[in-house]
Amino acid sequence: MSLAPSRQQAGDVLDHTIPMTAGGPRRRQGSGLDRQRGRSGALLTLPAVAVVAALLVVPIGQALYYSMTDWDGFTARWVGPGTLSRLFANPAFWQVLRNNLLLLLIVPVAVLVPLGVATMLHAHIAGWKFFRSVYFVPASISWVVTGTFASRFFAQDGLLNHLLDDLGLHALRLDLLSHEHSALLAVGVTFVWSQLGPNTIIFVAGLANLDPALEEAARVDGAGPLRVFRSITLPQMARFIQFATVLTIVTAFTALFSLIFVMTGGGPGNGTTTLEFFVYQQAFSQGDFGYGAMLGVVLFGLVALITVIQFAIGRLLTKGN
């Protein structure tokens, strides 16, 4: 008698074993476990969701409400969307918005200059460790100190004009802080300098994570430094460039209050007043908190819109590469 199982017996065994391993029972058990894990994860995230709601959603909702009221800080009277019409009819608002858009034009400079500096540091030029520390100095200085230094540097009797005098360039003496356009230029230059440290650190970290084999292969194929940087380095740095750009845009719109307050006070006129500073002027200087809340809502929407557009452009460029 043969001890080997017949073909029919083997088929019966397979019919009973396959569903248990690859079919129904284990798959159904796994689905139940996944649902249980999903419920547990949702319960564990509830405290974080509650904190986010308390710190973000509720204040944003309150800002939307108060932006449509006549609010003096104590009592609020509902006036509806008329506050928005009043805002758009104010010439000062459009001048302030123009100032923000002009600062937006400086963002590429505040990103590309640190990218070039980080590339040189990544090449380990002589003294690169020392220069890495020097370039990070602006990031360790507060906006108040930066604004005080900039106001002394760009003043009529400041360091810049003293340097021009020492070089015999008296005709080039400038009083940048006394005119609207030149004062905004001085603020923009100071902003670019302040962003040198943070953006350089971002790009140094990004360059350190690149695959060196790709650059070596390109050099073996005869590609020069510029071709390697354009075709190999930049595509791999796209995410870091996008992050630095978003961070710089948000800083330009929402983090220059201290710098402008110390450096120019928003003047001359409204020449250096940004939306962020305009909120302070309307709400705290003039006591019109409802109008200030509307300005804050507009600022929030503008930054969100620019960020979404920037991410969309970044995705298109990434797909193109």
What confidence score (pLDDT) does residue 1 get?
Answer: 43
Tell me which DSSP letter residue 5 carries: P
What confidence score (pLDDT) does residue 214 get?
Answer: 83
Tell me which DSSP letter residue 6 carries: P
**How many Cβ atoms sit within 10 Å of the Cβ of residue 171?**
6
What confidence score (pLDDT) does residue 191 get?
Answer: 94
Per the structure, the count of domains in the chain is 2
What confidence score (pLDDT) does residue 318 get?
Answer: 66
What confidence score (pLDDT) does residue 216 get?
Answer: 82
What confidence score (pLDDT) does residue 321 get?
Answer: 56
What confidence score (pLDDT) does residue 320 get?
Answer: 56
Sign of torsion, CA 175 179 184 185? negative
> Are residue 54 and residue 160 in the same domain, yes or no?
no
- Burial code (b: 16+ CB inside 10 Å, e: under 16) for 222-247 equals ebeeeebbeebbeebbeebbbebbbb
> Are residue 204 and residue 141 in the same domain, yes or no?
yes
What is the tens place of the pLDDT at every residue in 116-125?
999 888 887 7
Interhelix angle 143-154/180-208, nearest 10 degrees: 130
What is the tens place of the pLDDT at every residue in 195-212?
999 999 999 989 988 888
Q: Which two tokens stand for residue 148?
A: 């005080």
Q: Which of 189, 187, 157, 184 is nearest to 173 (CA)?
A: 157
Residues of the chain above pLDDT 70, percent: 89
- Give domain status of residue 214, yes or no: yes
Q: Which of 140, 132, 139 is nearest to 204 (CA)?
A: 132
What confidence score (pLDDT) does residue 91 get?
Answer: 92
Q: One digit per residue, pLDDT tens: the chain, 321 residues?
A: 444 444 454 444 444 444 444 444 444 555 778 888 888 888 888 998 889 888 888 888 888 999 999 888 888 889 888 888 888 999 999 999 999 999 999 999 999 999 999 988 888 777 777 777 788 887 788 899 999 999 999 988 888 888 888 888 888 888 888 888 899 999 999 999 999 999 999 999 899 888 888 888 888 888 787 888 888 888 889 889 989 999 999 999 989 999 999 999 998 889 999 999 999 999 998 888 999 999 999 999 998 898 888 888 877 766 655
> Are residue 12 and residue 95 in the same domain, yes or no?
no
Contact at 8 Å (CB) between 249 and 303?
yes
Residue with tokens 């510029």: 226
What confidence score (pLDDT) does residue 296 get?
Answer: 92
- Give domain status of residue 77, yes or no: no
> Are residue 212 and residue 289 in the same domain, yes or no?
yes
SS3 (DSSP) at 68: coil
> Are residue 138 and residue 220 in the same domain, yes or no?
yes
What confidence score (pLDDT) does residue 95 get?
Answer: 94
> Are residue 246 and residue 120 in the same domain, yes or no?
yes
> Are residue 274 and residue 129 in the same domain, yes or no?
yes
Report the residue count for the chain: 321
- Give domain status of residue 267, yes or no: yes
What confidence score (pLDDT) does residue 279 get?
Answer: 93
State the Cα–Cα distance between residues 130 and 300, nearest whole angstrom: 39
- Give domain status of residue 71, yes or no: no
What confidence score (pLDDT) does residue 317 get?
Answer: 67
- Give domain status of residue 36, yes or no: yes
Beta strands in 18-80 (DSSP E): 69-71, 76-78
Residue with tokens 């640190």: 114
Torsion angle, alpha carbons of 129, 112, 314, 213, to 10? -40
> Cα Rg for the chain, rounded, in angstroms?
30
State the Cα–Cα distance between residues 285 and 30, nearest whole angstrom: 62
> Are residue 246 and residue 113 in the same domain, yes or no?
yes
